[in-house]
């Protein structure tokens, strides 16, 4: 990565810790050679940069945007009413080619709405999806959709599978990604009407489709792409977060319970912190959007500087691969696959 490539647009005003943590994350990314353009009220952003002693030589630009979308704004309405909001301006920069991608830790509904409005969808894409890269025991398993599409039809799940396969292959470099549909059991007879129809179609897609996977397979890394509707995906993701947190809490209590175990815990502390980092969602940085004409990453509302830095890095990586060019061709056979599956 050289400073000659187009920057990633960073929404300076999105997230619980904006603008401070966001600007810091952008500075950290720029220091590692990843160019950024910070989008938000110019005075506010420049003030944050000055306070953080960002060197003028860093590949950081500032692009003015007057308005901010809040977490409790209605995504679609806010996107239309607040024309000059920082999320929308990020996408404008991507659309005109000034930025190679964007990152926002703001209102995720508004980010999705902005992506669809400004970038639009590749031909044939029914519904864009939010992808999560999971902290698997091995590999970088993807799960989609993560909450953009709550009520799904089979065609949506089939397209999620095909788009996720492209992302895993092109961006994460998995030679032949394995794809599975999340269900309540491994047997074909399990699942809902939705999962059975999607599964029957994906089986015919000429990809490495493995049928159903279960909740316990999400983090093993056995499957590269895990397909689900946005409701189930969101529940599963938050269940993973909650479980990891509760296990950590049990662990802390257990270690503090006796003197010997406290000493043991101190000796093992570095290792335990290493584990915490492995399971840390901030390391992942952000969730890419799939099915829009450009690169967009939604970061967690609680994002700190590290999360933003990682999201910027990943957005640059994704943009370099031009994976978006392959999405239309990937989803094109979806309808025919569903029809053929229904015939047999």
For a second copy, which residue of 30, 93, 174, 182 counts as binding (CB under 8 A)? 182
Residue number with CB closer to a second copy (194 or 289): 194
One-character DSSP codes across 326-341: GHHHHHTTHHHHHHHH
Q: By CB under 8 A, which span of 53-61, 76-84, 89-97, 223-231 interacts with a second copy? A: 223-231
Task: Count other C-beta atoms under 10 Å from residue 98's C-beta.
Answer: 14
Residue number with CB closer to a second copy (56 or 138): 138
Number of H helices, E strands in the chain: 14, 11
Residue number with CB closer to a second copy (173 or 274): 274
Token pair, residue 114, equals 């902005």
Q: How far is the CB of 7 from a second copy (least distance, A)?
A: 32
For a second copy, which residue of 11, 217, 309, 326 counts as binding (CB under 8 A)? 217
- Measured on CA atoms in the order 252, 254, 255, 257, is the torsion positive or negative? positive
Binding mask 54-73 for a second copy (x = CB under 8 A): --------------------
Instruction: Say how many residues touch a second copy, by CB under 8 A.
Output: 63
Give the integer Cα–Cα distance in Å for 268 and 270. 6
Closest CA to 180 of 148, 146, 214: 214
| Stretch 138-167 residues interacting with a second copy (CB under 8 A) | 147, 150-151
Residue number with CB closer to a second copy (2 or 189): 189
Which letter does DSSP use for residue 206 in this model? Answer: S
Token pair, residue 73, equals 């704004």
| Stretch 270-309 residues interacting with a second copy (CB under 8 A) | 270-272, 274-275, 278-279
Report if residue 242 touches a second copy, rule: CB under 8 A: yes
Residue number with CB closer to a second copy (52 or 74): 74
- Residue 256 CA: distances (Å) to CA of 160, 215, 247, 269, 271: 45, 31, 14, 12, 17
Give the integer Cα–Cα distance in Å for 288 and 243. 24
- Provide the CA 338 distance to its chain's centre, in angstroms: 27
Residue number with CB closer to a second copy (275 or 328): 275
Q: How far is the CB of 204 from a second copy (least distance, A)?
A: 24
| Stretch 245-274 residues interacting with a second copy (CB under 8 A) | 245-251, 253-255, 257-258, 260-261, 263-272, 274
Closest CA to 210 of 227, 191, 229, 232: 227
Q: By CB under 8 A, which span of 13-21, 48-56, 241-249, 315-323 interacts with a second copy? A: 241-249
Report if residue 241 touches a second copy, rule: CB under 8 A: yes
Find tokens 């009520």 and name the residue.
151
- 11 three-class SS: strand
Positions touching a second copy (CB under 8 A) are 136-137, 147, 150-151, 182-185, 190-193, 214-220, 228, 230-232, 234-251, 253-255, 257-258, 260-261, 263-272, 274-275, 278-279
């Amino acid at each position: 990565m050289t400073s000659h490539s187009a920057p990633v647009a960073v929404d300076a005003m999105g997230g619980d810790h904006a603008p401070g943590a966001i600007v810091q994350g952008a500075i950290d990314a720029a220091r590692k050679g990843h160019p950024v353009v910070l989008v938000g009220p110019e005075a506010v952003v420049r003030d944050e940069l000055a306070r953080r002693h960002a060197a003028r030589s860093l590949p950081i630009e500032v692009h003015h945007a007057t308005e901010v979308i809040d977490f409790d704004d209605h995504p679609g309405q806010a996107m239309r009413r607040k024309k000059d909001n920082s999320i929308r301006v990020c996408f404008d920069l991507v659309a005109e080619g000034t930025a190679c991608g964007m990152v926002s830790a703001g209102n995720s509904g508004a980010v999705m709405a902005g992506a669809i409005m400004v970038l639009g969808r590749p031909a044939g894409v029914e519904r864009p999806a939010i992808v999560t890269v999971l902290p698997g025991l091995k590999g970088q398993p993807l799960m989609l959709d993560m909450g953009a599409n709550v009520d799904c039809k089979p065609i949506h799940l089939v397209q999620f599978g095909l788009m996720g396969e492209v992302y895993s292959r092109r961006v994460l470099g998995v030679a032949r990604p394995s794809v599975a549909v999340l269900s309540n059991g491994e047997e074909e007879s399990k699942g809902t009407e939705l999962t059975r129809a999607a599964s029957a179609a994906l089986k015919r897609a000429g990809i490495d489709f493995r049928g159903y996977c279960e909740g316990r397979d999400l983090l093993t890394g056995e499957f590269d792409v895990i397909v689900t509707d946005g409701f189930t995906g969101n529940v599963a993701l938050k269940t993973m977060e909650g479980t990891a947190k509760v296990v950590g809490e049990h662990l802390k209590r257990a270690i503090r319970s006796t003197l010997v175990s406290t000493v043991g815990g101190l000796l093992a502390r570095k290792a335990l912190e290493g584990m915490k980092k492995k399971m840390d969602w901030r390391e992942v940085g952000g969730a890419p959007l799939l099915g829009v004409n450009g690169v967009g990453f939604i970061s967690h509302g609680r994002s700190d500087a590290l999360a933003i830095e990682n999201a910027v890095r990943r957005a640059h990586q994704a943009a370099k691969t031009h994976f978006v060019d392959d999405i239309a061709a990937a989803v094109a056979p979806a309808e025919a696959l569903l029809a053929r599956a229904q015939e047999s």
